[in-house]
Amino acid sequence: MLKNKQKWRLLNDGIKDPFMHFAVEDAVLRLVDEEKSPPTLRIRQTIPSVWIGVFQHPEEDVNIEYCTEHNIPIVRRSNPGGAVYQDSGSFCYSMFFNRNEMFSHLGIEDPSQLYSLTGKAVLAVCKDFGVKAKLSPVNDITVDNRKIYGSAQLELYSAFVHSGTFLVNADIKTMQNCLKPSDLKFKEKGFKSVAERVINLSEAARKAISVKHVIKGLINHFSEILNIELQQSPLTKEEKTLAEKLLASKYSKKEWTFRKKQLFTTKLSTKIKSGVVNLHISTDNQYIKNIHITGDFLLSDPEILHKIETNIRGLAIEKGISFIRNSPLPQELKMAVCHMITNITEGQNRNE
């Protein structure tokens, strides 16, 4: 049984610039961790732009030439997941909270349980508009197997943020021109393009739908399902100041989004439940010279992956695999990475 309602801030700051948009995301998360910001539901929209996941390379997942020609900004998020196109026909939300307090309030232990809990609110909104949708594990909501909503998570010490993206009447043609997802994303589902894979709520309902009405409905369902009381209030002065600093030092920097690509001798890709995993690796005489793992898979603490990559460089391959197997990575992700490394080394041995 849920406890008394938690009091939350409802934040609708109207920031449309995608770079400042994510600077604010970062600032609020940090200040929630420092207990200087309250639990917050932030409603988010930006100008037409492409957002890539923290583990992605834009060159692999985005049509950079098209975006450049059409003045569509590309920005890297701090959370995982895949590249998305956003415009006025879609919206996002982020829930910022103290992990232990909120998980206790909801009676859950695992972050993955949030996907189904927040998914209930999205399903309820779809039902409000006469659309039958379903949860598609791990983090999507689909209508007739086409994606209408996706979500991701990120944690920072005591703070946690759960985010979601809802397609209402987004420009699917432009979305398809901007994105170039891996064939592995579509292969198992039988789709050939982004346009075939996604669907707007308005298309599913076969009527015009206002984004504002969908936002209002989602807020109401969140309040009920998560047992929270929302009161609208703006960003604090401290949040604004920190966001400006993060914009200048991080999100406005080209090198944040377009990281320098390293050269690797081998690349393998595979698909797990939460997304595509790409292994970039260079080996020499059964040692790992360099390794980098990219993709649109889900991992709430990106620092785990960075530490693994740093620690296994220079190790013998078998020791590197053992290190990964004993790491706190999700089981499916660690097994996928170990399997790809094993395949590479076995192939090299056969060729010697």
- Per residue in 267-305, pLDDT (tens digit) is 899 998 888 999 999 988 889 999 999 998 888 888 999
Burial pattern 206-219, b for ≥16 Cβ within 10 A else e, equals eeebebeebbebbb
Q: What is the pLDDT of residue 194?
A: 92
Q: What is the pLDDT of residue 260?
A: 80
Q: Are 139 and 296 in contact (CB under 8 A)?
A: no
Give the amino acid at 175.
M
Q: What is the pLDDT of residue 23?
A: 98
Average pLDDT over residues 104-113: 94
Give the contacts of 199 (CB within 8 A, at least 6 positions apart): 143, 144, 146, 147, 148, 167
Q: How many CA atoms are closer than 13 Å to the CA of 334, on its beta-carbon side?
A: 15
Q: What is the pLDDT of residue 188?
A: 67
* Nearest of 79, 81, 153, 168 to residue 117 by alpha carbon: 153
Average pLDDT over residues 229-253: 98
Q: Is pLDDT of 8 > 50? A: yes
Q: Is the dihedral of CA 74, 79, 84, 85 positive or negative?
A: negative
- Per residue in 165-202, pLDDT (tens digit) is 999 999 999 999 999 988 777 766 678 899 999 999 99
Q: What is the pLDDT of residue 3?
A: 67
Q: What is the pLDDT of residue 161?
A: 98
Average pLDDT over residues 83-103: 97
Listing DSSP states for 135-193 in one string gives EETTTEEEETTEEEEEEEEEEETTEEEEEEEEESS--HHHHHHHB---HHHHHTTT--S
Average pLDDT over residues 149-163: 96
Q: Is pLDDT of 346 > 70? A: no
* Highest CATH level, class, for 6-257: alpha beta
Q: Is pLDDT of 351 > 50? A: no
Q: What is the pLDDT of residue 352?
A: 46
State pTM to two decimals: 0.88
CATH H superfamily, domain 266-351? CO dehydrogenase flavoprotein, C-terminal domain (3.30.390.50)
264: pLDDT confidence band, cut at 50, 70 and 90?
confident
Name the segment(s) of the chain with CATH classification 3.30.390.50: 266-351
Counting residues of the chain whose pLDDT is more than 90, the rounded percentage is 82
Burial pattern 295-314, b for ≥16 Cβ within 10 A else e, equals bbbbbbbbeebeebeeebee
Q: What is the mean pLDDT of the chain?
A: 93
Name the segment(s) of the chain with CATH classification 3.30.930.10: 6-257
Average pLDDT over residues 210-222: 98
Tokens of 343: 């395949």
Average pLDDT over residues 209-226: 98
Q: Is pLDDT of 55 > 80? A: yes
DSSP 125: H
Q: Is pLDDT of 252 > 50? A: yes
**Cα angle, residue 51 at apex, residues 83 and 305 outer, rounded to 5°:** 65
Q: What is the pLDDT of residue 247?
A: 98
Q: How far apart are CA 257 and CA 56, in angstroms?
A: 9
